[in-house]
Chains A and B, each alone.
Chain A
Amino acid sequence: GENVEQHPSTLSVQEGDSAVIKCTYSDSASNYFPWYKQELGKRPQLIIDIRSNVGEKKDQRIAVTLNKTAKHFSLHITETQPEDSAVYFCAASNAGNMLTFGGGTRLMVKP
């Protein structure tokens, strides 16, 4: 089955700096890669996703890049703000019924 590894597990940045979270996956058939943000005690919420037919997608301060050859994808947050502090999860799916999540990255943005 699919295995998703996520790094780093914790990330602390100064407000205004950029943050990068990286994930690798094992199943070359995977073709859908969402990122979820989960605030403490809250539900995971989709912030951005990418499909395998594109290499990069951007939405305001958030961007995701995908390298299918290397089987890794990354989340980039620019101009970080304190409200970006949360746990971020990457995930991968091969269009089957299972979305496999990474272990999460706790992002702390210091004012």
Chain B
Amino acid sequence: GAGVSQSPRYKVAKRGQDVALRCDPISGHVSLFWYQQALGQGPEFLTYFQNEAQLDKSGLPSDRFFAERPEGSVSTLKIQRTQQEDSAVYLCASSLASGFTGELFFGEGSRLTVL
């Protein structure tokens, strides 16, 4: 596609449910990032993939958060046993090169609301 695509755009979960958020990066982009954006805040780094390798997961807030990119393209962010504090917009971004050598292209985000 022409840009980074994320699904679902909106997700409402009951506390304790598991959720899975999908990201389709721009074709050919090596780097993929997940960010969490709370209401009125800047995006906060969660994790980074270079192709299929997860090189940095230092931003994942707990072991309930898990991300994968098994074939170096589509990525899934999974949150187990969701809590109210997980409510946020989850942004995926991709970049042509590895690391931060250029522009990040963001998706529209997945807005998660945990009741």
Contacts and interface: CB of A to CB of B under 8 A. Distances in A.
Contacts of B41: 103-104
Contact of A44 (B55, B101, B106): B106
B103 A96 contact: no
Contacts, number: 57
A60 interface: no
B106 A43 contact: yes
Contacts of A91: 42
B100 A93 contact: yes
Please tell me the size bucket of the interface on A. 20 to 34
Nearest to A89: B42
- Grouping DSSP codes into helix (H, G, I), strand (E, B) and loop, the B interface class, with mixed when no group exceeds half, is loop
B66 to A, nearest CB: 18
Interface stretch (B13-21, B43-51, B67-75, B77-85): B43-51
A34 B105 CA distance: 12
A42 interface: yes
Interface of A: 4, 6, 32, 34, 36, 42-46, 49, 89, 91, 93, 95-104
20 contacts: A6-B42, A36-B106, A42-B108, A43-B109, A44-B91, A45-B106, A46-B104, A95-B99, A96-B99, A97-B50, A97-B99, A97-B100, A98-B45, A98-B58, A98-B100, A99-B104, A100-B45, A103-B41, A103-B42, A104-B40
